[in-house]
Amino acid sequence: MARPLRIATINTNGVRAAFRRGMATWLDGRGIDILAIQEVRASTKDLEELLGAEWDILHDPATAKGRAGVAIASRSKASIHRVTLGPDDFDSAGRWLEADYEVGDKIVTVVSTYVHSGEAETPKQVEKYRFLDAMEARMPELADDGKYAVILGDLNVAHRKLDIRNWRGNQKAAGFLPEERAYWDRFVGAEGDTDYNGGAGLGWVDIGRKWAGEVDGPYTWWSWRGQAFANDTGWRIDYQLASPALAATVTSYQVDKAATYEERFSDHTPVVVDYAL
């Protein structure tokens, strides 16, 4: 039996800084086939030098140099890739990268995306909603007719109270606003829906919640400041959202949280999923 396809996502918070802190050690021992990266904040040449020749690299930098940036690194070359999302006047550069991969007799579409962090009651939040609107419009096309697709990345929204430790203190903060969480209700279903994570909404599956069950977390982001990491005061904002066809093939879900604060190479942690294709 062929081994599963291992797909991972990580917001590096600057890929050069992540490699200085030890990202290569994690990557070398993880057996990853496709890696989605967000907040690259570096050049394509930097990525090529850091990752090495064994990886095929697709990179969509942000319009503003040194900001955002998404990439997909893979062991095999993508058959095609796309970098635009939403209306022609919408700048999605550095935030949405799609790539199609041939896996046996199947085509798997992998999306690396970095949703805006936003800021309540400011133009930054308006821009975040524009991005989520464009994402919502694209998702049915990606999952149409049994297609295999997965949206990976730092989506900057904690869907449910289980996804954020201090939910009471963040109800008016970007990332946990009711209007933001309503998008997830439409993507995967609302809490309490009969078919939540199993056909509700647009039918997509939040692999993290599906596999972890009704438990706190597992969180994927912790502030560098204070004792957030030590106390596990985190947010679950890094996702693998899979189309129903692809979600049915999952055999493993892991959040690779560092053992200690000193071993962290980003304020986010990798999320790794095995798909038996």
The pLDDT of residue 63: 82
Q: Is the dihedral of CA 268, 125, 197, 134 positive or negative?
A: negative
pLDDT, tens digit, 9 for 90 and up, residues 72-91: 999 999 999 999 898 888 88
User: For residue 104, what pLDDT band results from cuts at 50, 70 and 90?
Assistant: very high
Least Cα distance to 217 among 161, 274, 153 occurs for 161
Strand 5-11's sheet: what is its strand order?
Answer: 56-60, 70-74, 34-38, 5-11, 271-275, 250-255
Structure tokens at 67: 């900001």
Q: What is the CATH number of the domain that holds 120?
A: 3.60.10.10
Average pLDDT over residues 158-175: 97
Give me the percent of the chain exceeding a pLDDT of 70.
Answer: 100
Structure tokens at 96: 């949405």
Query: Looking at the 3D structure of the chain, how many domains does it have?
Result: 1
Q: What integer best gives the mean pLDDT of the chain?
A: 96
Length reported for the chain: 277
pLDDT, tens digit, 9 for 90 and up, residues 188-210: 999 999 999 999 999 999 999 99
Q: What is the pTM of this model?
A: 0.96
Over 80: is that where the pLDDT of 1 sits? no
The pLDDT of residue 90: 85
Rg (CA), the chain: 17
The pLDDT of residue 93: 86
User: For residue 2, what pLDDT band results from cuts at 50, 70 and 90?
Assistant: confident
Over 60: is that where the pLDDT of 275 sits? yes
The pLDDT of residue 3: 85
The pLDDT of residue 131: 96
Domain assignment of residue 149, given as a range = 5-275
pLDDT, tens digit, 9 for 90 and up, residues 226-256: 999 999 999 999 999 999 999 999 999 999 9
Over 70: is that where the pLDDT of 143 sits? yes
The pLDDT of residue 64: 78
Over 60: is that where the pLDDT of 257 sits? yes
